[in-house]
Amino acid sequence: MKILIVNTSDINGGAARATYRLHKSLLNSGVDSQMLVQDKHSDDYTVIGPGTKIKKAIAKIRPTLDQLPVTRYKKRTKIIFSPAWLPFSGIVNRINEINPDIVHLHWIAGGMLRIEDLTKIKKPIVWSLHDNWAFTGGCHIKLDCDKYKNKCGKCFFLKSAQENDLSRSIWTRKKKVFDKLDNLTIVGLSKWIANCTKESSLLKNKKIINLPNPIDTDIFKPFNKIEARKLWNLPKDKRIVLFGAMNATGDPLKGFKELSESLHKISKRDIELVVFGSSEPKESQNFGFRTHYLGTLHDDVSLVTLYSAADVVIVPSLQENLSNVIMESLACGTPVVAFNIGGNSDMIENKINGYLAKPFDTNDLAYGIEWILNTPNYDELRRSARKKVVQEFDSRIVVKKYIELYQEVLKNS
């Protein structure tokens, strides 16, 4: 069985890292897997990127060119929005030349694929949804908008007053393409996004299943807390609260504002905050206790030791599908506090391995942080955190389910 995994990048970004982990899990299980990307950062020979300097240069500017139709909406929000109109990427030609048994799409925006190109793929398609883009008129993060259930248009994210705006145009293009794709299977990485897909006007008639991302629990596992704190030069006698994401303090969807509000409401004794994914902002918060800004981390070993150094990890995002941070932290035995949104409840069991706060209620988020830090059964929380991931998300378990899916797709194609 020959699988081709297609994603915009191999290891740059949360979706890329999750996709790459699936690719490696397939290889470790003896599956002939390759990964095709527009933007290659690793030196992995099983990952295929642009082959020449010219193609690499073109790949770098495609995300910007793909955004040109969006730029005419001057009052648009900062929510990422992808028209996927840019032709001549050559990706479909590469896919068909490689000639896999199954093409497994993941995050394919950033100018990588034109929507219409999907009809030119000659093999069965499995598509894992890392965000909402596949079933919307262009937005990747739908928040509380439900226009994807109809035809989009008059887009909130574009701040458009017209029904026949760019979002309606993209929805119409997707509808024409998806109606032609008979051999398409949708994978919702969380129960939440699988349910959203079933409610969508674009994909509700396709086969939709829920399968999570895998994680290697031989890599992401508890590390000695004292040694971890020595490595990061963190105090032994403080309770460490950890928060991190890509552009952790700059992206409002990551919830740094909500985290800040909650931290101002908790008892200040014996606490220090650690932030990864951002350097210290120009206007730094004064929480009444020390804050460490670590910048961007680039390897799993750093993440494992950092999760292990922490007493609690906070994920206050305004939307999450299946958070890498939550899964990684729990695998390392560190409880997580997050809002009860998206796929968070797939991993966090309230007061068993973490705390699920009422959506966007910073008082409840603060309560959850203090509950974790002060609970007398903290060691049991840590054991339950690790157990949850080992039993349900370990790569050896999850990859078998993907192989079964591929076999079923080939049988029915």
Residue 373: CATH number of its domain: 3.40.50.2000
Work out how many domains the chain is built from and give that number: 2
What gap in Å lies between CA 243 and CA 221, rounded to an integer? 18
Same domain, 377 and 398: no
Does residue 218 sit within a domain?
no
154 token code pair: 């008059």
120 and 189 part of one domain: yes
Domain range for 156 is 2-213+394-412
Per the listing, tokens 């008979």 go with: 182
0.85 surpassed by pTM: yes
Same domain, 63 and 9: yes
Q: Which helix (H) or strand (E) holds 337?
A: strand 336-339
pLDDT of residue 247: 86
Establish if 367 belongs to a structural domain: yes
Beta bridge partners of 76: none
Q: Using CA of residue 187, residue 191, residue 195, residue 200, what is the dihedral sign?
A: negative
Pairing status of strand 239-244 against strand 312-315 = parallel
Burial class (CB in 10 A: 0-12, 13-18, 19+), 227: exposed
Residue 116: what pLDDT?
Answer: 97
pLDDT at 369: 97
Q: What tens digit of pLDDT does each residue of 53-109 get? A: 999 999 999 999 999 999 999 999 999 999 999 998 899 999 999 999 999 999 999
205 and 154 together in one domain:
yes
54 CB-near residues (< 8 Å, 6+ apart): none
Tell me the angle at which helices 256-263 and 362-374 cross, rounded to the nearest 10 degrees. 60
Q: Are both 159 and 195 inside the same structural domain?
A: yes
Q: What is the dihedral of CA 27, 109, 389, 210, to 10 degrees?
A: -90
Q: What is the pLDDT of residue 170?
A: 98
Q: What are phi and psi of 209, to 5 degrees?
A: -130, 165
pLDDT at 250: 85
CA count, 13 A, side-chain hemisphere, 199: 12
In a domain, 220, yes or no: no
pLDDT for 286 equals 79
Torsion of CA 313, 318, 324, 328, to 10 degrees: 10
Q: What is the dihedral of CA 49, 54, 60, 64, to 10 degrees?
A: -130
Give the residue among 259, 302, 297, 257 at the shortest CA–CA distance from 278: 297
Residue 121, SS3 per DSSP:
coil
Q: Where are the alpha helices (DSSP H) in 268-377?
A: 300-309, 324-331, 344-347, 362-374
Please check whether residue 265 lies inside any domain of the structure. Answer: yes
- Do residue 242 and residue 318 come from a single domain? yes
Q: Are residues 136 and 265 in the same domain?
A: no
The DSSP element (H or E) to which 365 belongs, if any, is helix 362-374
- Provide the pLDDT for residue 287: 84
Residue type at 14 in one-letter notation: G
Residue 267, pLDDT score: 84
Both tokens assigned to 120 = 């030119």
pLDDT in tens, 275-312: 999 888 777 777 888 999 999 998 999 999 999 999 99
- Is there a single domain that holds both residue 276 and residue 342? yes
Residue 238 sits in the same domain as residue 379: yes
Q: Give the H/E segment covering residue 314.
A: strand 312-315
Same domain, 54 and 125: yes
The strand pairing partners of 354, in sequence order, are 336, 350
For the record, the structure tokens of 346 come out as: 């797939």
In angstroms, rounded to a whole number, what is the distance separating the alpha carbons of residues 24 and 31? 10
| Whether residue 191 is found in the same domain as residue 268 | no
Greatest CA separation for the chain: 61
CA dihedral 374, 272, 299, 32 (to 10 degrees): 30
pLDDT at site 263? 94
The predicted structure's pLDDT at residue 9:
96
Do 57 and 166 belong to one domain?
yes
Q: Would you say residue 179 lies in a domain?
A: yes
Residues 82 and 134: beta-carbon distance below 8 Å:
no
**What residues in the chain have per-residue pLDDT under 50?**
none
Burial of 243 (0-12, 13-18, 19+ CB in 10 A): buried
H helices of 109-224, in order, are 166-180, 191-199
Strand ordering across the sheet containing 354-357: 291-293, 271-276, 239-244, 312-315, 336-339, 354-357
